[in-house]
Amino acid sequence: MLGAGIHIGHSRSRRHPAMAPFLWGTRSNIDIIDVTRTRQKLAEALAFLRDAAKKNQLILFVGTRPSARALLLATAVELGYPYVNGRWIGGTITNFRMITKRVETLETLEQEQASGAFEKYTKKERLRKEEEQLRLRQNFDGLRRLRRLPDAMVIIGIGHDDLALREAKRMNIPVVALVDTNIDPTAVNYPIPSSDDARSAISYMLERMKAAIREGRLAGEAEASRATGGTEGGSTAQAGATSND
């Protein structure tokens, strides 16, 4: 954690009072996060994510700061989860039906272009449709897998993506988030005291989350396999008993 720079916070003047219990001290006017508390809160967050993955729940990843965009995109795509790494569109959660329609419009335009249907339009009309398609892809590309409201959200920087947090709270969706020294940790269900600026810190946390989610999925698959095997075994035994009778 120290090597990833997780412990380096902001200047003391920017400290949120609620972060005091998670601080080790101050050096050169920079608040230092206590990594022993980070380890504790990270374990709680990972346990939650592991359980969510085990239950095959849908997790939405959010991180629109430049330092988080590429890392979050790679993680979400690898796991097959929806994501927002460009701009959070107001109503993504609270007006989900509208967002779904925009995604459907994007996919319809892509299908029309792929089938050659754009050729029936004038050059000006094709250009307008291509511009609309580009705009929709920029805003909604990561939401294609969001076919229903998410069961949980991971937000990298709630100071930057505060609207996403507000919508999640309004819809009672639990949130896992990195909380830097200038953030109120009580606003999050599963806060992880950590720098939310350093790419190395973000990368470290996303790797840990990815590993926990994979563990949860494997556990869920194993549990489902045992349940199926138990049912088949029980049916076979019952059939044998009936035959003996």
- pLDDT, one tens digit for every residue, the chain (245 residues): 999 999 999 999 999 999 999 999 999 999 999 999 999 999 999 999 999 999 999 999 999 999 999 999 999 999 999 999 999 999 999 999 999 999 999 999 999 888 888 888 888 888 998 899 999 999 999 999 999 999 999 999 899 999 999 999 999 999 999 999 999 999 999 999 999 999 999 999 999 999 999 999 999 999 999 888 755 544 444 444 444 44
Residues 101 and 88 in one domain: no
* 32, 70: one domain: yes
Same domain, 44 and 5: yes
Q: Give residue-wise pLDDT tens across range 140-154.
A: 999 999 999 999 999
- Whether residues 74 and 102 share a domain: the answer is no
Instruction: Give a yes or no: residue 184 inside a domain.
Output: yes
Q: What pTM value is reported for the model?
A: 0.88
Pick the closest to residue 88 from 162, 151, 156 (CA basis).
162
- Say whether both 105 and 50 belong to one domain: no
CATH number, position 4: 3.40.50.10490
Which of these three, 79, 109, 143, is where a domain ends?
143
| Domain housing 124 | 95-143
Kindly state whether residue 234 falls inside one of the protein's structural domains: no
Residue 112: C-alpha distances to residues 109, 115, 135, 192, 194 (Å): 5, 5, 16, 44, 45
Mapped onto helix, strand or coil, the DSSP state of residue 89 is coil
> Does one domain contain both 51 and 62?
yes
* pLDDT, tens digit (0-9, with 9 covering 90-100), for 151-194: 999 999 899 999 999 999 999 999 999 999 999 999 999 999 99
Question: Residue 55: inside a domain, yes or no?
Answer: yes
Longest dimension (CA), the chain: 84
